Structure 1
Amino acid sequence: MKRAFAHLSFNGNCRAAMHFYKNCFGGELNMQTLEDMPQRHAFPPKLSQLVVHATLRSEQLILMASDLLDEPLTTGNHMSILLECQKEGEMEAIFDKLKMGGQVTRPIQKTHWGAMIGGLTDQFGNQWMLHHPLRTLTL
């Protein structure tokens, strides 16, 4: 696999979530709402600000998201996003930002396989794992 992208689904708070993630990771954020679409008249006006597609793009991350329009969202353990961090300080800084308003599920700690790992559920119910290799593993 050359690339993997994460796509997150929200119940009307996609805009707030993506601005939060932009604050955590930096990068360029683009969003398209129902109001921006040619078919906007087919939807009730109260839905006009729902996000149809959002992309946050930085050098190391592409994160896509949208608000669900026609199905209920089940937030939980259905997905985790793993971030590979190059430096321990980078890992700790991102972890500290993501945990705001959320819950730490695994404090940052050294592992038996020669890495540091930490886990959390952010304020929007999405699960994150941050990983930093402490040494190069040989197979």
Structure 2
Amino acid sequence: MKVNPYLIFDGNAEDAFNFYKSVFGGEFSSVNRMGEAPGTENESEEVKNRLMHISLPLSETVTLMASDCGPGMGEGFLIGNNVNISIHPASREEADRLFNGLSAGGKVEMPMADMFWGDYFGSFTDKFGVNWMVNYSKHF
């Protein structure tokens, strides 16, 4: 299983990651914009241009990841909710086990489900206030 830091920004994820890339080096392994998501046709160009996901590998085992929050998404951007732990289990079954165990007594933001980008994903805040993302991908 891989564990990665996942950062949330309020529209400046691209600027932040260009800065991080200038310090760490390397190349982005993925850059996806909000406008690529289904149901964003009526969003403003500013919202469509925000980053839905960006990844910067820092080593063979650690990837720094991020996205911009969008207006009306969850609780929005707040200092303190802008850091998540993203775990990448080796199977759907392990994803469900981890999601159900860690989210017990917490607040589910997005239940585990197949996503339009092809992964099985869910997110929640555990009963201690820690934000988690569980992402199973056949590609890892």
TM-score by length of 1: 0.48
Looking at both structures, which has the greater relative contact order when contacts are Cα pairs under 8 Å and sequence separation is at least 6? 2
TM-score by length of 2: 0.48
